[in-house]
Amino acid sequence: MVVVDPWFDLRSGDELAQRQVKTLSAELRRELTRGHSLYKVKFEVIARCRHCDEILVLADDHFVFVHLGWPPKSLFKPKPPFPGLPRTQWFDTAEEAELEADTHA
């Protein structure tokens, strides 16, 4: 998949990209709750949008746009506050995901 502006490709493997992948992956895991389409699914963060809290992940051979909420940790006690979030949009092919990414701003 080709990633273009406003998206930042995180597959380069450089130190900055690795740190961002680690941070974004941890945040996504923190926000996922039982019943979410990505809950307990192995995923790889491959890109982030420079303009908003969207990330692009590869999960189960699908491309998934995910809108992270970044809620404060205090809201997770006693349970996560926003069932059904983070919002996701699934695509079967890289071409479909590229078309959506091209219209994203």
Q: CB of 34 within 8 A of CB of 58?
A: no
| pLDDT at residue 22, as a whole number | 96
| pLDDT at residue 101, as a whole number | 86
| Cα 26 → chain centroid | 10
Tell me the pLDDT band of 24, cut-offs 50, 70 and 90: very high
* Predicted confidence (pLDDT) per residue in 65-83, tens digit: 999 987 666 655 555 556 6
d(CA 51, CA 6): 7
Query: What are the residues whose beta carbons fall under 8 Å from the beta carbon of 85, sequence distance 6 or more?
Result: 31, 36, 67, 69
pLDDT of 17 over the 90 cut: yes
Q: What is the pTM of this model?
A: 0.85
Highest mean pLDDT among 44-48, 66-70, 94-98: 44-48
Domain-wise residue ranges, the chain: 7-103
Q: CB of 10 within 8 A of CB of 47?
A: yes
Pairing between strand 87-91 and 62-67? antiparallel
